[in-house]
A and B are shown apart, each in its own frame.
Chain A
Amino acid sequence: MTEIKAKGYLSPLTEEAKTNKWLYLKEWLCTTDAKRIGVLYLAFSAVMGLFGGILSILIRIELAHHGPVLFADPSLYNALPGFHATAMIFFFIIPAFTGAGNFVVPIQIGAPDMAFPRLNLAAFWILPPAALVTFFGFFINSLPEFGWTGYPPLSNNVYSGMLGADFWVLGLVLVGVSSTMAAVNFLATIFNMRCKGMKLFQLPLFTWSIIVTSFLILAATPVLTSALLMLTFERMFPGVFHFFNPAGGGDPVLYQHLFWFYSHPAVYIMILPGFGIISSVVQTFSRKHIFGYVLMAWSMMAIAVLGFVVWAHHMYTTGIALEVRVGFMFLTMLIAVPTGIKIFSWMATMWGGSLKFDTPMLFAIGFIAMFTLGGLSGVVLASVSVDIQLHDTYYVVAHIHYVLVAGSMLTLFAGLYYWYPKVSGKMYNEFWGRVHFWLTAIFLNVTFFLQHWMGVAGMPRRYYDYDPQFEWANMISSGGAVVLFLAQLIFVANLVWSWKYGEDAEDNHWYGDGIHLEWMVPSPPDHHNFPEPPEWKPIIRQHVSADQPGGLWHRQQ
């Protein structure tokens, strides 16, 4: 048995584990170290991301040609979009950001670990069983066909009596429990365990984004849980509970209200940590302090507050009163203001900076460009009259993928490449990183851009088949999706290969330009992050032009 040689937190804790792989593995699976839990989260979400990606490829192959292609049975196809969305939202994006937060946040605030380490481990270990439960329908060949939204009456026991649907609902309840546990942990950690000198408005913006996200999870997720429980009661005991059944005085629209009361804030749960990552990456690779730091923090809070009062813009076609819809329309459009503040502040950070185009920065710039497109189509959809036409068409599909793939996923890649030297102590292969970026950026647009047109031309989403006039566009979209998926394998291979064979990373790897605490500790960090409690020297984030003192970091000394 060869000895396990690893540095920092990766090193085995006991002498026995140094020579015994199984003990070392057990040490990882039962760890209460936030960094190791963070890595577990990321590994789990990578697996689920690939699973969700495979589902999306199946969808795109089926849609490549008009008529049946892959599935003779449309009901199998019907289940795929819902499972794809569930896998990507609940098991890929949200856990991946939780993982990044687990690794980075305690170090950034100068804490040795999270506030509740055991709760942290429990929150992680709920996820794999939850995934099994959620997708259990695959094993018993009983797939719910009501999409990821699960609207009754389609999702009630009359129209979706299959057992797989009950498992799906139960799985989502479990995921909700897991993410609320993680949120409580983050809040306690950040509020109580900041090191000396780390005032709230000294926190790195990534940590700020985790605070805001945690509040969103705390307030929104229990509402989804209650809605799902109502749905379960109604499914399990038909004739006793009539929450959503009009025959018993219920209202199916109530489910939509509750669902979107969670799921609209959920889109900010999926993007705000990404905003935080981009703020870190852009300032490091521009060698300038983030522009408008305080406003950046407040705009995240504004997005979070507004995020709770716009849910009905998903429900313009349910027949709610016009006055209500118009109110929600204006509130929705208002969100473009804090988001715009963020976009312009990132651009102002880059302006006059000493830019370095390493892979994380490429992803950050790609994100800013393409997320803006996704945001613009969001403003289009916010308009009541336009949305009546575009509701449940591919325009919505294009919009959600521009904000989730070109948004959340690109920020995730930026963050993973940015912190990879810190997490692994090794450097990934820069060439393949850039190849991954360019393939992703190009084929993302190949896949999703034409879907705007399909939607405007009237192709409905979630359908097994479509009008032949859309065939050429769907063919292009499917081809793009396959290449986009294959490009992600480059990413996985690069990171896995580099973990073992990469060059050793420096402590402050990015040209010595990292200014937050995670770059002040060794790569990889030690078991408890800091040998002794650090002290944060407050930084003044002033806006001066590059040729004035303090304008660029390298001129400060």
Chain B
Amino acid sequence: MTQSPGNQSHLHDDDLNAKNARVGRLAIMVIVGMFLFGFASIPLYRWVCAQSDPGGSSWFIGEPDVYENVEIDDDREIRIRFNTNVERQLPWEFGVDDRYVDINPGEQSTVTFTASNPTSNDVTGKAVYDISPPEAAPYFKKLECFCFIEQTLISGQELDMPLVFWFEPELPEHVTDISLGYTFFNAESSRARAAVEVE
């Protein structure tokens, strides 16, 4: 502490120290609170997304839908494009037979995806899909999808994986083009987490 002849008495005032300590405590509470808020934002964000996302998070949807009494809307045709990606941690090749299909809303369609494992190890992957525009997501129904479960490919195996799906006829009129992107991730590292989440 610097001292000088002209040093002031109120520098070491007990009252002042108490007041300073109070402001300091309040400030530390704000800091700790905001720090915790940062971590609290993880469940908060998940909750907000679950409430507001049309169709919910694709990670947690693993149930086939039921194709019953679905009316086919012959008046319009929509084009569904497919896009395939593999995350770098997964040493697979992943493709789709058709780049796109033209279907009527309500009409069932089957598209075959192909994954192959060129490595000498058995590897397990999990596919996650993304749909654009997002407002089409609630109308996207699947009878069968390789994204429902984890897929294990033994060394050198090539696997054809069908996607059986339809779009409900209630799909908004202005949606004429839909892109479905499937990304395969390495499931080994994420299994523990997923078990907790899906429950």
Contacts and interface: CB of A to CB of B under 8 A. Distances in A.
Nearest to B189: A239
A63 B187 CA distance: 42
Pick from A222, A227, A526 the residue with the most CB of B within 10 Å.
Answer: A222
Given A251-B45, A527-B2, A223 B8 contact: no
Contacts of B30: 218-219
A112 B1 contact: no
B87 A247 contact: yes
Given A112-B11, A184-B27, A246-B185, A258 B194 contact: no
Contacts of A246: 59, 128, 183, 185
Given A13-B2, A528-B11, A188 B128 contact: no
A62 interface: no
Given A219-B34, A226-B39, A247-B190, A254 B45 contact: yes
A33 B46 CA distance: 48
Interface string B117-157: 00000000010100010100000000000000000000000
Contacts of B3: 13
A248 B16 CA distance: 52
B20 interface: yes
A249 B31 contact: no
A549 interface: no
Contacts of A242: 190, 193
A78 interface: no
B1 A184 contact: no
B35 A223 contact: yes
Contacts of A184: 23-24, 27-28, 31
A261 to B, nearest CB: 8
Given A184-B28, A220-B34, A247-B185, A158 B2 contact: no
Contacts of B189: 238-239, 247-248
A284 interface: no
A102 B99 CA distance: 63
Nearest to A11: B4
A233 to B, nearest CB: 11
Say whether chain B's binding surface is mostly helix, strand, loop, or mixed: helix
Interface in B2-43: 2-4, 6-8, 10-11, 16, 19-20, 23-24, 27-28, 30-39, 41-42
A226 B49 contact: no
A515 B62 CA distance: 71
B38 A226 contact: yes
Contacts of B1: 32, 117-118
A145 interface: no
Contacts of B183: 246
B31 A222 contact: yes
B1 to A, nearest CB: 6
Interface in B102-124: none
A249 B59 contact: yes
Contacts of B33: 222
A225 B1 CA distance: 31
Given A192-B20, A526-B6, 10 more contacts: A191-B23, A218-B30, A222-B31, A225-B38, A226-B36, A246-B59, A247-B128, A527-B2, A531-B6, A532-B6
Interface of B: 1-4, 6-8, 10-11, 16, 19-20, 23-24, 27-28, 30-39, 41-42, 45-46, 49, 52, 57, 59-60, 87-89, 126, 128, 132, 134, 183, 185-190, 192-194, 197
